[in-house]
Chain A
């Protein structure tokens, strides 16, 4: 009996934690609504966790990835095409969340446009969260279990999620 009560308490706590996992924030603090600032000037840590550890942010990032036509150069699942792939371990300009944020905001040579004046800061972080999912660097409970689109091949739910990173190719 005592054990049942204890287990119920633990379950409730876990349920509470899972609520935060997909908490939806429709109004961001003023700083996140404005044009994004240089990643180096950002107070580090806090914004990254709020977006990267949130499943809803990741799915919003997925929607924006399509809307802003990121797929036009990086392909739908981040496999790369005209632009570099986003799903391997090789990063031209750094693969940390802050570096990806900076790439989106400031642009990079040879084609990556700067989106800093066009996309509010919170949407950039949502995109960062989604881009991190390509290389399997999101928390397992946050990463999308399966894509919503119809896709050929093995279902994402059956792939090895502990080790999704494809082997790095060294030329």
Chain B
């Protein structure tokens, strides 16, 4: 039994050690924007205050236990009906002082939280606009340009320029979701029938992770948003490339694949700009092959994974709203060849 406990402790200790080596880029403790920095400051203020109070209470408890030891046996179990008046006064003062201190600490924390929150969501002016629509279970991203043909629609990868504030309009297509990119900002709900805004001000280039932070159904856990922050010049180059329609398929196999995509089952939900497929119920696939993940973080985007995903998405992400694709073997190869050209 003891050996079991020791083993369990070893496992826990290793776990804690492993988490000590956790990639802090995943968390809110590595801010990459002024807003995340403010949240981090708030967090540490709360953490150290709580740690200070907790330690103080434990120390007071230990002192009380130490000083009160032996008193109960000396006086027996009968209640003390003639307390020492001087001791009573001192205790009363100590309780009053502790209560006053608690009120001051709690009110200060409340003020820090309220003013921190107001600073976070005051929406500064942003030169760039994007729209984020949450779906069960993926993210739709739109960048509007000067004309309608400049519209870029993509999925699950949010590209942002470093050092440029971006006003992100948030909407939901079905149920309540919540956007959380810990490195950049706090959480913001996406509510059906209601538009909200979040101004993201990424300061440092890098790749960050976003999550849905409001339980939204069966695959809530697999609803990842990759946030790619690039230097402005690189971002403009990406946006220009994203505005281009998909390249026409060159090989015969890819051409057959394009036809299967548009006239077969894929085109019922997915769209590819520059082809006959123009549906918008599922993720836009115009530049699908340049994305890193399949199914909002379900699998890395590789040819083998894509085949497995197409054949049975339910095996990878049970409940996902994509039906299995049953095509004759040759047609599936053509379709994969076509999807590979969508760079």
Q: Check B314 against A117 for contact (C-beta < 8 Å).
A: no
In the assembled complex, A63 has its CB within 8 A of some CB on chain B = yes
**In the complex the two chains form, what is the Cα distance from A117 to B315 in whole Å?**
23
How far is A131 from B99 in the complex, measured between Cα atoms in Å?
66
Q: Which residues of A contact B323 (CB under 8 A)?
A: 33, 120, 122-123
* A77 contacts the other chain (CB 8 A): no
Q: B263 contacts which chain A residues (CB < 8 A)?
A: 117-118
A34-B326, A120-B324 known; A26 vs B319 contact (CB < 8 Å)? yes
Report how many residues on chain A are interfacial, defined by Cβ distance under 8 Å: 19
* Residues from 97 to 141 in A contacting B, C-beta threshold 8 Å: 115, 117-120, 122-123
Partner of B265, one of A30, A118, A122: A118
Interface string of B289-329 (1 = CB under 8 A from A): 00000000000000000000000101100110101101000
Contact A120 B314 (CB under 8 A): no
The complex places the Cα of A26 from the Cα of B312 at a distance, in Å, of 11
Kindly state whether residue B268 has any CB partner on chain A within 8 Å: yes
Residue B264 interfacial (CB < 8 Å): yes
B265 near A26 (CB under 8 angstroms)? no
Q: Are A35 and B281 in contact, with the CB atoms below 8 A? A: no
Min CB–CB distance B221 → chain A (angstroms) = 16
The answer on a CB contact under 8 Å between B268 and A119 is yes
| Shortest distance between the CB of A47 and any CB in chain B (Å) | 16
Interface presence of B50 (CB below 8 A) = no
Q: Is B324 within 8 A of A68, CB to CB?
A: no
Say whether A4 faces chain B, with CB atoms less than 8 Å apart.
no
Q: Give the chain A neighbours of B314 by CB distance below 8 A.
A: 26-27
Q: A63-B321, A120-B326, A123-B323 are in contact. Are A68 and B268 (CB under 8 A)?
A: yes
Is A150's beta carbon under 8 Å from chain B?
yes
Interface residues of B in 220-275 (CB under 8 A from A): 263-265, 267-269
Q: Indicate which residue in B268, B318, B321 contacts A118 across the interface (CB closer than 8 Å).
A: B268
Q: Which residues of chain B are within 8 angstroms of A24 by Cβ–Cβ distance?
A: 319
Most buried by A among B312, B314, B315: B314
What is the chain A residue whose CB lies nearest that of B192? A148
Kindly list chain B residues whose C-beta atoms are within 8 Å of the C-beta of A35.
Answer: 326
Is A93 an interface residue, CB under 8 A from the partner? no
Chain B hits for A6, CB < 8 A: none
Complex CA gap A119/B324 in Å reads: 10
Q: Which residue of B264, B265, B268, B324 contacts A67 across the interface (Cβ within 8 Å)?
A: B268
Residues of A within 8 A of B319 (CB): 24, 26
User: Roughly how many angstroms separate A9 CA and B90 CA in the complex, as a whole number?
Assistant: 64
Cross-chain pairs A/B with CB under 8 angstroms, 18 sampled: A27-B312, A27-B314, A30-B326, A33-B323, A67-B268, A67-B269, A67-B279, A68-B281, A115-B268, A117-B264, A117-B265, A118-B264, A118-B265, A120-B265, A120-B323, A120-B324, A120-B326, A122-B323
Q: Please report A residues at the B interface, Cβ cutoff 8 Å.
A: 24, 26-27, 30, 33-35, 63, 66-68, 115, 117-120, 122-123, 150
* Interface residues of B, Cβ cutoff 8 Å to A: 193, 263-265, 267-269, 279, 281, 312, 314-315, 318-319, 321, 323-324, 326
12 further contact pairs, Cβ within 8 A, besides A66-B281, A67-B281, A119-B268? A26-B314, A26-B318, A27-B312, A27-B318, A30-B326, A33-B323, A33-B324, A63-B321, A67-B279, A68-B268, A118-B267, A119-B265
